[in-house]
Copies of this chain bind each other. A is one copy, B any other.
Amino acid sequence: MKKNITIKDIAREAGVSTATVSRVLSNKGYASDDIRKKVLAVAKQLNYRQNSIAKSLKMHKTNLIGVIIPDISNPYFMKISKGIEDVVQEKGYNLLFMSGDENPHKEEKQLKLLLEHRVDAIIIATSGKNDELISSIHENDTPVILIDRKLEAGNEKMDFVVENNFEGAYQLTSYLIRQKHKLIGVVNGSLNVSTGVERFSGYKKAMEDYAIVQRDELIFNGDFSVEDGRKAIDYFMGLDQRPTAVLSFNNTMSTGVILQLDKLGLTIPDDMFLASYGETEVAQLINPKGKISVKQSPYKMGVKVGEIILDRLVLHVTGPTQEVFNPQLEK
């Protein structure tokens, strides 16, 4: 049966009080050299391992940061996570992950769970519909940092690290238009989240500015999944007037688009031009002449988030820090 060593055991064995043991082990307060050595020796001999739970209870600090992302297998979010982890780990923080599956209801439960676990901060790429809860958590002193996706309302007081989605989509669309594409098939992302909404707005503005007719049948509403990228292609190919270019609003849907075009025996750029918000591995295999994409910097965004967290938790910076990454077109 498991018998965990506690500072009480060390105290007994070393012939001192638990207060002294604690002082030695945490390197706070006074302790004579003799006792210090003795305590450390006993701790090592007994193979003592501190109990973070007890420490957390007393200190009101868990050194855990909750992370809620919609899709744990999307490389974009995992690169963000890696960036966060690399930064916060240095200061002894660890990440408690939850994947929300683009499901607001699940997300709500996870937020509450993280609060019960008393995480020191929460990082979330929200799936929407939890704005009030998120705001209230932030105001009740568990810092919340929004990543990639903002709230529908109430962003003023929040920390966030996002992209300028409007601008990115605007540039992508303008590029297509300047390349003389008139029939652009849009693979739209979820309109429940800010990235989806903003990218769609950027597209619409560009179409207006260049006075191109917007046709409803050229809009396919997806949910950021590979599968929906494939479905979009099936849909577009079934139209009487097929688009000459497809504009996909996130990396995973672009992957679906590319795979499905290939499956149908269609090629880029002969049969279709691809404009993609975000990059994917499969895109590296297609003809550069047939594509344009918005380059994203998920790792850097993660690093920035990590820095904001540390500012909050270690340096006790208070004001909202809001970081917007600018898009960069790339062939």
Which A residues are closer than 8 A to B by beta carbons? 1-2, 49-54, 56-57, 62, 64, 72-73, 75, 78-79, 81-82, 85, 94-99, 112-113, 115-118, 140-142, 255, 258-259, 262, 280-282, 284-286
> If the complex has contacts A73-B82, A82-B99, are A262 and B281 also in contact, measured as CB distance less than 8 A?
no
- The answer to whether B54 and A2 have CB atoms under 8 Å apart is no
Shortest Cβ gap from A123 to chain B (Å): 13
Number of copies: 2
A57 to B4, CA, bound (A): 12
Contact B116 A50 (CB under 8 A): yes
Residues of B within 8 A of A82 (CB): 72-73, 99
Neighbour of A51 across the interface among B75, B116, B259, B284, CB < 8 A: B116
Q: A2-B142, A94-B113 are in contact. List 18 more A-B contacts (CB 8 A).
A: A49-B112, A50-B116, A53-B56, A53-B62, A54-B57, A72-B78, A72-B81, A72-B82, A73-B75, A73-B79, A73-B82, A82-B99, A94-B96, A94-B98, A96-B97, A255-B281, A259-B284, A262-B285
CB pair A140 B255 closer than 8 Å: no
In the complex, 28 of the A-B residue pairs with CB atoms within 8 angstroms, ordered by the A residue number, are: A1-B141, A2-B141, A2-B142, A49-B112, A49-B115, A53-B53, A53-B62, A53-B117, A53-B118, A64-B96, A72-B78, A72-B81, A73-B75, A73-B79, A73-B82, A82-B99, A85-B99, A94-B96, A94-B98, A94-B117, A97-B97, A258-B285, A259-B281, A262-B284, A280-B281, A281-B282, A282-B282, A285-B286
